[in-house]
Structure 1
Amino acid sequence: MASLLYSLGKLAARKRWWFISAWLAVMVAIGGSVAAFAGTLSNTFSIPGTPSQQVLDELQGSLPDAAGGLGTIVFSTDDGGEFSKEQQDAVARLAKDLGGLDAVKSATDPFELQSALDDAPQQIEDGQAQLDEAKAKLEQGQADLDAGRQQLEPGKAQLAAAEEQLQAAEAQAAQADAAGQPAMAAQIRAQLEAQRAQLEPQKAQLEAAEAKLDDAEQQLKDGRSDYESGVADLQAAKLQQQSSEGVRFVSDTGSVAVMQVQFEKSMMEVAKEDREAVQEMTESALVSGLHAEYSKDIVEDISQLFGAAEIIGITVAAAVLVIMLGTLIAAGLPLLMAIVGVGVGVGGTIALSGVVEMSSVSPVLALMLGLAVGIDYSLFIVNRHRSQLLAGMPLEESIGRATGTSGNAVLFAGLTVIIALAALAVPGIPFPTVLGLAGAATVAVAVVVALTLTPAMLAVIGRRILSKRAWARAGMSGPAEGSAATTTADAASVNDPKRSWARVVTRRPWLALVAGVALLGVMAVPATQLRLGLPDGSSEPADSTAYRAYTQLGDSFGEGINGPLVVVADLPDGLQGSEADEKLLQVSRELRGLEYVTAAVPFGTSDDGRTAALQVIPEEGPAAESTEELVHNLRAQADSIEASTGVGISVTGQPAMQIDVSDKLADAMPVYLAIVIGLSLILLLLVFRSILVPLLATAGFLLSLGASFGAVVAIYQWGWLSSVFGVHDPGPILSFLPMILIGVLFGLAMDYQMFLVSGMRESYAHGEDARAAVVSGFNHGAKVVTAAAIIMVSVFAGFVFSHLTMVRPIGFGLALGVLLDAFVVRMTLIPAAMHLLGKSVWWMPRWLEKILPDVDVEGAKLSAPGPREPEPEPVGVR
């Protein structure tokens, strides 16, 4: 591989303008792709197949009105007083206008809802009084009806008796006719007609009275039906009031109100333009004395990757490069290479966001890593090239050898980082997969840039890569291009072991070893209390509208309103009338009886009446331990609630989804760690051809990793030094930070292991005593590794105060991890341990030695006896 890279370096030097043009073309193509295909980034995380995600998917099918994304607008008065009528009307108009936006499903009027809640008790009392009065009237009407019918009975009896008499007389008349007595029959019939004439008014009077009573009875039936309907309505109102206990939309003081804006799509799918439209419409609707703050879901803008803090970090890295390399040209080259690598890697990542669901952390992590490794990898090659020039090597030969030696180490170091990042895809969780692959691709680009564009630029720069002072210190006056002049500098004096930190460490190896392990062990203690979660409004910058909205809601309505849970109820089939409401009230009572629950309010039922949703308000915020315990308790109590109410329940909502994501990532972490370490141990075995060196490297990494975790927990979870790092609300650690920290830190730790220990391996392979090789090999790479580590720490530290708060603990963990790993582990513990082990540290079974390929990571074969003839310099190199 060293020979191949040597040839590649020389080719890049000879065909430098071809290589530079190719990279310019790549950058232009990437820029065009970003402009054409870039999509929307998100800070919303989900994992398909988790319990909460499954419930949400089912809810979207059965009750889509309850499944859209929810944002919050918090209104307040400038003077802290109650809202005026003008301000209330402005909010009401805004709610109506927002509901007209295509992206918005509905927006609530907090004053209308609060008025309904406040008036409900009196309305129920008045309704009960009206029902009591109606019931009394119904009872009186029934009594009057019964009395009227009782009064009709004697008249009806008399009429019936008279009609019987008439029938008897008619029978007598018929008998008279039959007996041949027509005169008698006529007389009887005449009397019958007179009697009928007398009965007709009485009969008509009775029929009229009967009809009047029938009408009264019908009115009584209608009144009874209205009464029953009123009872049902009153019962529903009572159920609604009981289930709404603990819920408010306007604060007790009357100075804060909350509007809920429900979007048609999930928050991840809501476009930035739609979020901005909500804000613009709200701002234009505000009247004098009325102020609005927006929840993180509405104002989230993650389109900006760079902030002032990141620029400061780059500036520090540039200063380190200038101090180390002595010229602006030499210092600018690694920075330029990093910018090219970041431009291609991050640009490609953003271009893919149009077709791949991508979190905002993905391009930021790629940016962070691309800058750090891009500078370092180019620096290693530039530093080797400068040393070789000072030793009198011709320019093109020096470029080739620098690429074949340090470039070979860069390649294997980069492979370690790429393996660690790409392994994030192994657990099969979507957003860490994208995160890892984006970072791995950017690191891969950085490696290719270092191996191709750096040699080409070195050929363009020529001998100006060294200052005149550097030439003078080397005993040279800056010979002409192509000269193979020799240096009078004594290489041994440059790397005098008596002045080496490695010499200090190896004098007291046990002391260095114990002190280093003790330091890292103590720092790792807080890591035992690590608690994972995802960011909410409390983690936003203190001067942001998202944080102000979060705190205003918490202060005015309780912390739980910032992270309501959604409980989905599966109702029994065949419920009639108010039975479904009664079932939901039973469920609501059961839920409110659980610990850490403030309210449980039904807010939607499907068309078939089989599915309903309840909003459960926890006592504390979405990231609180009590809320996490509540989610687990709700799932544990689901069977008992179904047994007592006949209603099955399941839990979703943003807090539940965050908890499920954190649990899933925590479960995947041991597998991920095993894969990363296993693959990297194999790579290190190939590089160092030793059993103990890879094991020492991994043990040292675990120490620095534990210390980094401990510091992150102490600052971001416990709140230590919170004022220094801007942690105003300590909380759980970002759930995917451990996996990122494991992958990135392991890869970078192995970078420094590679550059330091490969020098020790080379010294030992050339016949030096094993213990002496530790010092000489250390001296060979210590200066450049020190500079590289400081640069990488500076870049990562720039993200500690990033405008994206989710990135801050990642930047801190990586900066501290690199600092501890480079200076405590790689430069102290590893030399001490290798000195104690002596020759045995390079032991390897012979059978394994035979089957392992020789990768020659330091390009020792290129430095074998028999120097190459100087080659003529390319024309035009200056």
Structure 2
Amino acid sequence: MASRLYAWARWMVRRRRWVIATWILLLAVVGGLGATLHGKTSTEFTIPGVEAQEAQDLLKAKFPPAAGGVVRIVVAAPEGRTVTEPGQQQVLDRVLRKAADVEGVVDVSRPAENGAVSGDRTIAYSDVRFEDEAPEVTEEAKEELAAAVEPLRDAGMQVELGGSAMLPQTEAGGPAELVGVVIAFVVLAVALGSIVAAGLPLLTALLGVAVGLLGTMFVSGFVEMTGTATVLALMIGLAVGIDYALFVISRHREQLADPDTSWEESIARATATAGGAVVFAGATVVIALAALAVTGIPFLTIMGLAGAGTVLIAVLVAISLLPAVLGVFGERMRPRRRKSARENRAAGSWGLAWARTVTRAPAVVLLAGVLGLLALALPARDLRLGLPSYAAQPEASTQHKSYDLLSEGFGPGFNATLVTVVDTEHIPQDRREGAVTRLRDTLVADRNVAAVSPSVPNRSGDVVVMAVVPKSSPDAEATTDLVHRMRDQAPEVAAAGGALYVTGQTAMAIDVADKLGDALPLFIGVIVLLALLLLAIAFRSVLVPLKAALGFLLSVGASLGASVWVFQQGHLNGLLDVSAVGPVTSFLPILLTGVLFGLAMDYEVFLVSRMREDYEHTKDAAGAIARGVSSSARVVVAAALIMVAVFGGFVFNDDPIVKAIGFSLAFGVFIDAFVVRMTLVPAAMALLGRRAWSMPGWLDRLLPDVDIEGARLPAAAPAASADRPATEENRRETATRV
């Protein structure tokens, strides 16, 4: 692979203007398609085949009004007054009549007629039901409805909007995310020792992310895609795009420190070696994200493919656009000669000192590191999965305020209302009422049920709906237990000839969590096997992949433990602006496993490939560890800090799902890079010694030899014999150095 990338890079450098123009043209074309043919991103996480979704499909087919999206208008009277006073009631009636005229609305409930007034008469709500399902309710309709309720505020009442149709769109690109990019630039400037060199990774990464995001927007016109998928693509694409460019540029400038190395030769070699590691590491990220498809969950599959697409583009940018851009800068990328004694200190000296410290007592380091990571992972024993309720939305949002008002007026379980759907088509008509009544009596008697609405049949009478209000909140474990007890009544209903379903937002979140929880062990197994295979190919070793896979599992465990500690147990809520504690986002463990696997393999490949490269030349196992860490520590540390900064910026996003993803990835990368790769890996390699690089002969013959270390590259050509004409442009390039 290294030989092919070497020739490829020289071709890219010599045709650099055409390469750059091609990427700009690609950006323009994909941008045009994404801007004009994009679709609407979804705010819901649903899984075909789970019971809650089957119930929704049944309602859509046989009871359309019950399947429509709802905007719930929640009203609180001014202090010292009630919502039932004549003046307040008149304003509310006028607003509700106006709400009924909003396009797509099929029904507006009246609080006084439906028992939707709190016991102290200070809070009331009205459900505005749309013809379309919740994800299909247009933003224009919701904005029109928001404008229609303004007279209530003018009358002194507090008005907030909730309901299934009010899930906010996931957005990114705020000030917090930009701070992460600024921190990344500072890290790049320190790591590369040049402002110009620091700007190149950002420039190429932003172009690659733009192509990836605009392409994702174009695809959203043909497949249903959640807003979280686009944010994930931005998050991962930006982080790996910067890191991959950093690896290549760092290697390029390291080689240019030798005045006898021509800049064109250096670009080709950097692309062949560091670029080869980029290709291999990028492939692991792409495969890991694409492997989310094995879960069989559509929204997670699309999310993984969107992230994989942006990573693939980042790899292509690093081995095509970046060499071309480096060719434009030419000699100006050569670092200045160091003059002071401190500046002349051997490059990587602190990395060498760290490696020697870690390998001095490797068994002690390994034991302490593993025990520390297991301690961080302990909270994961209490892991509960779910989807965030409106309580997790920012405290200033109307969704969060509506949640609080409903909890205050009607109890914490009101926001967890469950919908019981009974298909009575195959129950004899004279027995339908009795079967539904017996079910309702059973539900009313449950210890965690606060209220059960009267049964409401559809026009043909073959589908009956009842609303069940729990005593516990949507995120409480008691509510999950209630859903399971309700579904335990299905055999009795089936014995009468009917079918029982439980649905609603809370039930859907529970079903999604259960499905994802069941898929997690299979996904982790696939990822671990994938790690073993890919690293065995890369390093011609059996023990190195085993060590890498175990380290990866420790990183995932520590990150999950930290996520449970923060988001489920409520620590650091004020610092991280977490509005409410609750279950960990249901797809976070699978997503974290896939993404962190790819990124962990990045650092494993870049760190161990330098050890392998040194070992191939010296056959000195102990020295190869020290020199490998010394030569790669600076760039790995910088890359990890960039990842942490980029992911950490998303921790302050208002969306609770994005916040949780950003935190878990930032923490996971930090632990994996600094504890596992920079500390435990050298210690483990020291214990393994020469055995680390051994492989059975039959397996060595079976696996392909990819040569990511560049062992078979031709000898370096000196600067004087660089294969390019000495044009006036070249002389101008030589005149200035960074």
TM-score range, shorter chain: over 0.9
Among candidates 438, 441, 451, match of residue 306 of structure 2: 438
Aligned to 1:590: 442
The alignment yields a C-alpha RMSD, in angstroms, of: 2.2
Seen in structure 2, the aligned counterparts of structure 1 residues 497 and 616 have a Cα distance that, compared at 3 Å, is closer
2:682 aligned partner, one-letter code: P
How many angstroms apart in 2 are the aligned matches of 1:749 and 1:530? 23
3-state SS, counterpart of residue 494 of structure 1: coil
3-state SS, counterpart of residue 252 of structure 1: coil
Seen in structure 2, the aligned counterparts of structure 1 residues 362 and 291 have a Cα distance that, compared at 3 Å, is same
How many angstroms apart in 2 are the aligned matches of 1:369 and 1:494? 30
Q: Note the C-alpha offset of 1:604.
A: 2.6
> After superposition, where does 1:572-721 map in structure 2 within 5 Å?
575=429, 584-602=436-454, 604-640=456-492, 648-721=499-572
Seen in structure 2, the aligned counterparts of structure 1 residues 303 and 835 have a Cα distance that, compared at 3 Å, is closer
Cα deviation digits, residues 580-639 of structure 1 (max 9, x gap): 666644432221111211111135312222221001111122222111111111111233
8 Å Cα contact 2:262/2:718 also seen in 1: no
1:342 aligned partner, one-letter code: V
> After superposition, where does 1:818-833 map in structure 2 within 5 Å?
818-833=669-684
Aligned to 1:398: 266
Aligned to 2:225: 358
Q: Note the C-alpha offset of 1:874.
A: 6.8
1:791 aligned partner, one-letter code: I
Q: Structure 1 residue 471 and structure 2 residue 337: aligned?
A: yes
Q: Note the C-alpha offset of 1:846.
A: 1.4
How many angstroms apart in 1 are the aligned matches of 2:177 and 2:78? 35
Aligned to 1:82: 82
- My pick for the range that moved more, 821-830 or 68-77, is 68-77
> After superposition, where does 1:735-754 map in structure 2 within 5 Å?
735-754=586-605
Q: Note the C-alpha offset of 1:770.
A: 0.7
Larger Rg: 1
Q: Note the C-alpha offset of 1:500.
A: 2.0
Q: Structure 1 residue 548 and structure 2 residue 401: aligned?
A: yes
Aligned to 2:419: 566
3-state SS, counterpart of residue 42 of structure 1: coil
Q: Note the C-alpha offset of 1:113.
A: 2.9
3-state SS, counterpart of residue 46 of structure 1: coil
8 Å Cα contact 2:351/2:629 also seen in 1: no
8 Å Cα contact 2:393/2:579 also seen in 1: no
8 Å Cα contact 2:53/2:508 also seen in 1: yes
8 Å Cα contact 1:40/1:271 also seen in 2: no
How many angstroms apart in 2 are the aligned matches of 1:874 and 1:8? 22
Aligned to 2:700: 849
8 Å Cα contact 2:95/2:151 also seen in 1: no
3-state SS, counterpart of residue 394 of structure 2: coil
8 Å Cα contact 2:351/2:630 also seen in 1: no
Q: Note the C-alpha offset of 1:664.
A: 0.9
1:24 aligned partner, one-letter code: I
How many angstroms apart in 1 are the aligned matches of 2:589 and 2:628? 33
Q: Structure 1 residue 49 and structure 2 residue 49: aligned?
A: yes
Aligned to 1:280: 147
Q: Note the C-alpha offset of 1:759.
A: 0.7
How many angstroms apart in 2 are the aligned matches of 1:866 and 1:26? 34
Aligned to 1:131: none
Q: Note the C-alpha offset of 1:286.
A: 4.3
1:334 aligned partner, one-letter code: P
Seen in structure 2, the aligned counterparts of structure 1 residues 390 and 360 have a Cα distance that, compared at 3 Å, is same
Percent identity over the alignment is: 45
Cα deviation digits, residues 422-462 of structure 1 (max 9, x gap): 00012221001000000000000000011111111111222
Q: Note the C-alpha offset of 1:721.
A: 1.8
8 Å Cα contact 2:71/2:166 also seen in 1: no
Cα deviation digits, residues 830-864 of structure 1 (max 9, x gap): 10011011111111111222232221112222265
8 Å Cα contact 1:103/1:265 also seen in 2: yes
Q: Structure 1 residue 787 and structure 2 residue 638: aligned?
A: yes
- My pick for the range that moved more, 594-603 or 667-676, is 594-603
Aligned to 1:60: 60
3-state SS, counterpart of residue 799 of structure 1: helix
Aligned to 1:533: 386
3-state SS, counterpart of residue 529 of structure 2: helix
Q: Structure 1 residue 449 and structure 2 residue 317: aligned?
A: yes
2:249 aligned partner, one-letter code: V
3-state SS, counterpart of residue 76 of structure 2: strand
Seen in structure 2, the aligned counterparts of structure 1 residues 573 and 417 have a Cα distance that, compared at 3 Å, is closer
Aligned to 1:338: 205
Cα deviation digits, residues 469-525 of structure 1 (max 9, x gap): x334499xxxxxxxxxxxxx98x9324489521111011211211111111010011
Q: Structure 1 residue 374 and structure 2 residue 241: aligned?
A: yes
8 Å Cα contact 1:497/1:775 also seen in 2: no
Q: Note the C-alpha offset of 1:71.
A: 2.3
Seen in structure 2, the aligned counterparts of structure 1 residues 737 and 522 have a Cα distance that, compared at 3 Å, is same
Q: Note the C-alpha offset of 1:102.
A: 2.6
1:291 aligned partner, one-letter code: Q
1:847 aligned partner, one-letter code: W
Aligned to 2:369: 516
Q: Structure 1 residue 777 and structure 2 residue 628: aligned?
A: yes
| TM-score, with length taken from structure 1 | 0.80
How many angstroms apart in 2 are the aligned matches of 1:690 and 1:864? 27
Q: Note the C-alpha offset of 1:738.
A: 0.6
Q: Note the C-alpha offset of 1:295.
A: 1.5
8 Å Cα contact 1:394/1:870 also seen in 2: yes
Seen in structure 2, the aligned counterparts of structure 1 residues 471 and 98 have a Cα distance that, compared at 3 Å, is same
- My pick for the range that moved more, 649-658 or 284-293, is 284-293
Cα deviation digits, residues 757-798 of structure 1 (max 9, x gap): 011111111124111111111111111011000001110111
How many angstroms apart in 1 are the aligned matches of 2:615 and 2:388? 50
Seen in structure 2, the aligned counterparts of structure 1 residues 694 and 864 have a Cα distance that, compared at 3 Å, is farther
Aligned to 2:736: none
- My pick for the range that moved more, 100-109 or 395-404, is 100-109
3-state SS, counterpart of residue 832 of structure 1: helix
3-state SS, counterpart of residue 100 of structure 1: coil
1:437 aligned partner, one-letter code: L
Q: Note the C-alpha offset of 1:810.
A: 0.8
Cα deviation digits, residues 276-327 of structure 1 (max 9, x gap): 2221222356432122111264444426321221111111111111122222
1:471 aligned partner, one-letter code: R
2:474 aligned partner, one-letter code: P
